[in-house]
Amino acid sequence: MYPELFSIFGYSVSSFGAMMAIAFLVGSWITGRRMQEEGLDPDLATTLLIYVMLGGVFGSKLYFAIDVSLREGRPFFDLLFARDGITWYGGLIMATIVGAIGCRRHGVPVKIFADCVAVAAAVGQSIGRIGCFLVGDDYGRPTDVPWGVSFPDGIQPIYDPVHPTQLYEVAWLLPVAGLLWWRRKKSPFLFGEYIALNGLGRIVIETWRINQPLLGFTEPQWIGAMLIVLGMGGWLYYRSNPGADEA
């Protein structure tokens, strides 16, 4: 585990930040290839992903700050401006909104761009989860399995072996990315398949995490179920209305 890679002018560069930068570069390359396949300008991939990234970072921090301040009573702005603490679902919501604004501004069909991003999103998210592992965040509950990992220097230190659920998610998302790449010219709504499979993976992986259940499901599991509904709902819509992808 390597929470900090190095310091420059007194500012520490975290392994999570480095993984996020790698995820952006890899995601831009994959998205550019997909946009070229769809007859779009691949040079717009980086520009549009900057919209997505900025929206994702702000949304993930905003969701985290609201959620934790309501549940634990901690100061909202302290949480919002802290270096640690993000929630992927908030990032997904805001990244989708801001990315759609970027598409409108640059004349790119939102649905087609979303499909171009689907594979990159799965790969980028898996790289980000490696970053979570390196800084010791989002791990699971204590375990005695041989691959259990302790995080004594983690964001929330723990000395007993726990499920490395960050790596479980990587093990799910990379095959998902491969499946989406194979289906990229077959699917009526590839991004819908991505969020549905993402939600399915989270529902399963949550069984090894430590979040408290609410009405039988943890909060991430409820959100995962909603992602399945939204993803498959969009998939069914575009399957029935194939001409709607120009919007």
Instruction: Return the ∠ at Cα 54 (arms to 50 and 57), rounded to 5°.
Output: 135
**Is the model's pLDDT at 171 over the cut of 60?**
yes
pLDDT for 246 equals 57
- Supply the mean pLDDT for the chain: 87
- Sorting pLDDT into bands at 50, 70 and 90, what band is 47? very high
Predicted confidence (pLDDT) per residue in 98-148, tens digit:
999 999 999 999 999 999 999 999 999 999 999 889 888 889 999 999 999
Predicted confidence (pLDDT) per residue in 154-166, tens digit:
888 899 999 999 9
Higher pLDDT, 237 or 8: 237
Predicted confidence (pLDDT) per residue in 79-98, tens digit:
677 666 667 777 888 888 99
Element holding 136 (H helix, E strand): none
Exposed, middle or buried, 43 (CB in 10 Å: 0-12/13-18/19+)? exposed
- Sorting pLDDT into bands at 50, 70 and 90, what band is 10? low
CA-nearest of 202, 209, 146 to 172 is 202
Going from N- to C-terminal start, the domains of the chain cover: 4-137+144-186
